[in-house]
Amino acid sequence: MTLPRFSPENDPGPDFSALIDKYGMPAISSQGIIENLPHGTTCVAIKYNDGVVLAGDRRATSGHHISFRTIEKVFQSDSHSGVAISGAAGPAVEMVKLFQLQLEHYEKVEGNSLSLEGKANQLGNMIRQNLPAAMQGLAVVPIFAGYDLRENAGRIFQYDVTGGRFEEAAFATTGSGSLHATTVIKMGFKDKLNQQDAVALAANAIFEASDEDSATGGPDLIRDLFPTIAVIKANGFEMISHDKVVTTFTEIINSRKEQNGGT
């Protein structure tokens, strides 16, 4: 077998993408952005004196259209860690499921759970592997948080679309309403928050983000839908009950009414 020969006028040069495009097989990199897919929006994580609070709204949007009102964005990844997702909803949920499976498999094979640092690195690798899809609009940008049993402290890790991992000292936000959520948390955060105050601050951040960002879903009193809130501390991952979440948002709504003269 000999290598194919090209005449000077037909030589494709070193560009392989141009070659396969010439023969009717467009390269992946030349494809356009995939549009109108459901995207998750705003999530936050806040450290407090006993651990970490994770919170996320329930809305997924496709452009200006509300695709889902009840999507879950806060997931337990193992007994002492959790993930809050934003970005393309389908790939994000599948990434979380695979992440959960990998952590469970490691624990069964090794007999010990992976360190929190190792879990954060593993999730970063998964995001990096998703980069080709992210270039076509299927980006996934989660927040990873957990309680480090070795350091006896809550820790928060934020990522960029390339899988870059950055540990945050106090809080993290992601999604379309992150700018507004960050402002609220900055104004209300202080060292040694207790759990009740941290949960209230996370709820307030989501509430204000939903008030300014159309892609972020706030409390829906008609459908009885509220953002999801979880805490991670020394005794493990725990979802805040629906009744407590309703009470927290009711207090926020009543406070806003008082500030606006009861209207």
Report yes or no on 24 lying in a domain. Answer: no
Catalytic residue of the set 2, 41, 61, 174: 41
Q: What is the reported pTM?
A: 0.84
Interval 219-257: pLDDT, tens? 999 999 999 999 999 999 999 999 999 999 999 999 988
Report yes or no on 50 lying in a domain. Answer: yes
Report yes or no on 48 lying in a domain. Answer: yes
Active site residue 41: yes
Interval 121-176: pLDDT, tens? 999 999 999 998 888 888 999 999 999 999 999 999 999 999 999 999 999 999 99
Domain CATH number, residue 240: 3.60.20.10
CB 249 within 8 A of CB 240: no
Q: In what order do the strands lie in the sheet with 87-88?
A: 65-68, 60-62, 39-40, 87-88
How many structural domains compose the chain?
1
Joined tokens for residue 154: 């809550």
Report yes or no on 209 lying in a domain. Answer: yes
Report yes or no on 16 lying in a domain. Answer: no
Q: Which domain holds residue 222?
A: 39-259
pLDDT at 80: 96
Report yes or no on 7 lying in a domain. Answer: no
Interval 91-113: pLDDT, tens? 999 999 999 999 999 999 998 89
Report yes or no on 206 lying in a domain. Answer: yes
Confidence at 39, pLDDT banded by 50, 70, 90: confident
CB 234 within 8 A of CB 241: no
